[in-house]
Structure 1
Amino acid sequence: MKKIKAGIVGGAGYTGGEMIRLLINHPQAEIAFINSSSNAGNPVTRIHADLAGDTDMLFTDKLSNDIDVLFLCVGHGDAKKFLDQNPVADNVKVIDLSQDFRLKSRDTSGENRKFVYGLPELNREAIRDAKNIANPGCFATAIQLGLLPLAKRGILGEVYTTGITGSTGAGQGLNATSHFSWRANNVQAYKTLQHQHINEIHQSLRQLQEDTKAHVHFVPWRGDFARGIYVTSIVHCALDVAELQSMYELFYAGQAFTHVLDKMIDLKQVVNTNKCLIHIEKQGDKLAIHSAIDNLLKGASGQAVQNMNLLFGFDETTGLRLKPAAF
């Protein structure tokens, strides 16, 4: 079978590096170019030293339409700007990893590209038929996957969520809270109740539960580790835990990467994988849903490749059977 050709824009960042790592090992895809204007002409391995021996490609500031799919691994606001300024051929499928096209309420007047929200556990069939994908946010992925079965049942009300993320979630550029000396042995809340992923979470929940009772109150934390997200959501629920366990298992039956466990989960089970693991427990009328993902894989580049597989009719798991860094 002929391999599809992929282009990567924003290849010097963390998500760009993960995209390169996944695609150079993908049996049905090949990388046509890796765009980074600030690194043009430099070997990819100068930035992504972990790829030494895997590729001899150079970064470029050039673009080509001789591709099948374009990954936009750029910052928020930059994806829309890129598409406005660069003529990407209509036949090229676009998978955007920023937040620019995730919300249906965003003004898209004058644009000829329509984006499908790329959460496979929610929109698998729409993704298969799409031309352009808005990849979900990392925290949004972890939180939604913990809540979707309750929304499907129509019993989701107020949700109180906390979640901790590794330093790679802040991107590769240094700032005061991403230096090792600040992160080490330190935890901090940030963007309390106003995180940018809340709107896309509500959008997905209301796709399953149309009333407006489902509302997420989210406090994210910065953690003193490199990668991964661990989320706990607390909701009021009258159902017993056995019924809830069955409901969750049924909702995710047949899903390639989301698994419901009957024992407590931990972060090391998902780091370096495209998995989301979920565990539920109950005290009185309060239900706690724990979910864990790798923020750079299921929360970004891995989910983008999962979406690519669906777009092009490949097995959903192709190139994504990755072992967790459990020790």
Structure 2
Amino acid sequence: MTSQKTIQCAVFGASGYSGVELSWLLHHHPQFTLSYGFTSGAREAEPVAALYPQLNDRCDLMLQPWQLDLLPQLAEQVQVAFLALPHEASAELAPKLIDAGIVVFDLSGAFRLSDPAQHEQAYGFVQPQFAHAIPYGLAEYTQLQGNEPLIAVPGCYPTAAGLALRPIADFLANGSTPIINAVSGVSGAGRKAQLHTGVCEVSLQAYGVASHRHQPEIAQSVGREVIFVPHLGNFKRGILATIYAELAAGVDAAAVQQALHAAYAEQPLVRVVAQPPKLQQVVGTPYCDIYAKVHGNHVIFSVAIDNLLKGAASQAVQLANQYFGLATTTGLLNRGAVL
């Protein structure tokens, strides 16, 4: 734990959905102080409540347009930066922040994939390379030492899939391919107005079939190829994933349940539940709820998370808690959500 009374932080992309949720969590955090909230350099400075009126008289953060000439001042005041930016913007900014001595928690996909060729195929640009390894921050499976300059925060779909499949990885049939069908609310598309993701335009539909950039990330996380089909639902936030996986011979329901409970007995933000979860159980919370049922030689998971919290902002803060030696849930419980 740092000797400072509080850890000074900045959020880049603070006007977006994940960014404002980050800002709200840090605003209330007992050990982190939100010093800056940055937006695109093309915007004017404005209070966060101008964009999110529900924060009026609750959060006085002033959103400032980012310019690179602010970096020396920022480096003198801030220890940690959270990047809720587009992938290429994070790839460009993160090395500059690191060179200035600022620890970076990146919520984009810029640094998640360990294979540069796979990254370029998925994201369409060359991944910056570092001399040091970049931790993939699935929080329940990451052991941060507190000296890493950059941590890659997982995507929302890979968080749900990874938390379900990792505990039973050794129980899966050789050569089998888990199938992941997941439905996300429209907030996953970001705040920027787009007709096809507006709530009045969206009908339940699959998208990115066999081509979504989260597919290689999920495969990397669980250690095998997967079939992943995301869906867009006509609701604001949350992810409900249904996962089918073939079990090795002799693996029964008791073994699956034992593996899940053993994996998460000391992980307060993952709950193994007795009934298929509803989104209302997790929306506005940092929890992941996992239900598992064995049917013949397959296990079927139902997994629910809030895509903007456990799938983004609260997982980033959970990782920062670990980085600085704080309890996992510090600043995360009973905070509600902005949207």
State if a TM-score over 0.5 links the two structures: yes
Which of 295, 305, 310 is 1:298 aligned to?
A: 310
Q: Does 1:76 align with 2:87?
A: yes
For residues 288-327 of structure 1, the aligned pairs below 5 Å read: 288-322=300-334
**Closer, same or farther in 2 for the Cα pair 1:292/1:78, shift >3 Å?**
same
Structure 1 residue 219: Cα displacement: 0.8
Q: Does 1:26 align with 2:29?
A: yes
Once residues 144 and 81 of structure 2 are traced to their aligned partners in structure 1, the CA distance between those partners, rounded to angstroms, is: 19
Q: What CA deviation, in whole Å up to 9, does each residue of 1:17-55 have, x standing for no partner?
A: 101110111011111111112433211111122211122
Once residues 163 and 101 of structure 1 are traced to their aligned partners in structure 2, the CA distance between those partners, rounded to angstroms, is: 23
Q: Structure 1: which 5+ runs fail to align?
A: 207-213
The question of whether the paired residues in 1 share the 8 Å contact of 2:25 and 2:335 is answered with no
- Provide the identity percentage: 33
SS across alignment from 1:117: coil
Q: What CA deviation, in whole Å up to 9, does each residue of 1:291-315 have, x standing for no partner?
A: 1100000000010000110111111
Which of 146, 160, 176 is 2:195 aligned to?
A: 176
Once residues 286 and 154 of structure 1 are traced to their aligned partners in structure 2, the CA distance between those partners, rounded to angstroms, is: 9
Once residues 128 and 258 of structure 1 are traced to their aligned partners in structure 2, the CA distance between those partners, rounded to angstroms, is: 23
The question of whether the paired residues in 1 share the 8 Å contact of 2:107 and 2:152 is answered with yes
- Report the TM-score when normalising by structure 1: 0.90
Q: What CA deviation, in whole Å up to 9, does each residue of 1:103-152 have, x standing for no partner?
A: 111276664664211112212x2364533110000001001111001214
Which shows bigger deviation, 128-137 or 92-101? 128-137
The question of whether the paired residues in 1 share the 8 Å contact of 2:91 and 2:127 is answered with no
**Closer, same or farther in 2 for the Cα pair 1:44/1:198, shift >3 Å?**
same
Structure 1 residue 217: Cα displacement: 0.3
Corresponding residue of 1:269 = 281
- Report the TM-score when normalising by structure 2: 0.87
Once residues 55 and 324 of structure 1 are traced to their aligned partners in structure 2, the CA distance between those partners, rounded to angstroms, is: 14
SS across alignment from 1:144: helix
Which of 257, 267, 279 is 1:255 aligned to?
A: 267
Corresponding residue of 2:217 = 200
Equivalent residues, number:
314
Corresponding residue of 1:219 = 229
Which shows bigger deviation, 214-223 or 282-291? 282-291
Which of 3, 6, 10 is 1:3 aligned to?
A: 6
For the aligned residue pairs, the C-alpha RMSD in angstroms reads 2.0
